[in-house]
Amino acid sequence: MRIKRHEMRTRITAFTLIELLTVVAIISLLASLLIPAILHGRGKARSSRCIGNHRQLNLAWTLYAGDYDERLVPNPDSTLERGQGYGWVVGNARVPTVGTNEQVLLDSRVSALAAYVKEARIYKCPSDESEFVRSVAMNCRMNPTRYDGNPAWVGGLGTNFVNFRRLTDIGSPSEMLVILDERSDSINDSYFGIDMSNTGNANGLGTVRKYTIIDFPGDYHNDSLSASFADGHVELHQWNDFVKRRPLGNPTPRGVSEPGELDVKWLQDHSTYAK
């Protein structure tokens, strides 16, 4: 029997069910191999961008000191009720009109580094998916300031440790944190509190107890922190215990860790040192 041309073409081009399943299986296998690589590559790109942001912020911090006779830029703490005075960057992320407002970061009348940092995106880690326009804060020992009283976390037993007022005050600059990522469930003002007194009291008073964590550092890069140091270098620091055990929440409460836990000790060791 003679086969019509269109029937022959149909028979030749048709796939069997087994062939279709084989193609689907191959595509699924390729996707399972490629997707992790794509995600890893995107994570690496975000880490690189975050490190670049920190370099620009650190350069601005250094340039400010150079322009003001080595004096460090003001680093004020605040509360929701009190607000925050003029400082390296203004704005409490917990104030709705401020936390999502990029313009406060670029206003040189209230944010001192606005004269050196011209893009609001520099203040935020690309991996921070919160609504806040800023994901960074400054080590509370870098020129701690409060315009209506004593700044928190540096008084009482905390006075046994150095506050840095000028660039030339900083010994071991490669070890001292300047600006670091802060988690979105912790970030408020631009002042990153680190309790050297181990009292858990903002004024450094009371009985010395376990290590206390005040503000929670960022962990946006596979449980790693992006941070700059006083000598100008930027690094990713891998967390070990306390930070890794705290899932993202809103807000994360201040917590007490066991003595010797590496994460809290690392923050303390890179905040300041004894007088």
Beta-carbon contacts of 215 under 8 Å, excluding residues fewer than 6 positions away, are 137, 182, 186, 187, 192, 193, 194
Cα–Cα distance between 192 and 210 in angstroms, integer? 19
The pLDDT value recorded for residue 68 is 97
The pLDDT value recorded for residue 56 is 97
Low-confidence residues in the chain, pLDDT < 70: 1-15, 19, 29-43, 79-84, 250-254, 259-260
Question: Sign of the C-alpha dihedral, residues 238, 241, 242, 246?
Answer: positive
Q: How is the chain split into domains, by residue range?
A: 5-269
Element (H, E) at 213: strand 212-213
The pLDDT value recorded for residue 197 is 94
Is there a contact between 93 and 187 (Cβ–Cβ < 8 Å)?
Answer: yes
Q: What is the pTM of this model?
A: 0.83
Number of C-beta neighbours around residue 197 at 10 A: 23
Element (H, E) at 39: helix 17-67
How much of the chain is helix, strand and coil, in % rounded to 5?
A: 35, 15, 50
- Please give the backbone phi and psi of residue 201, each rounded to the nearest 5 degrees, phi first: -110, 135
- Nearest Cα residue to 217 out of 153, 275, 130, 139: 139
The pLDDT value recorded for residue 90 is 85
Q: How far apart, in Å, are the Cα atoms of 130 and each of 117, 118, 250?
A: 22, 22, 11
**Residue 229 β-bridge partners:** 177
How is residue 76 written in tokens?
A: 């004020």
The pLDDT value recorded for residue 79 is 57
Q: How far apart, in Å, are the Cα atoms of 189 and each of 85, 94, 139, 149, 186?
A: 10, 8, 12, 16, 10
The pLDDT value recorded for residue 219 is 92
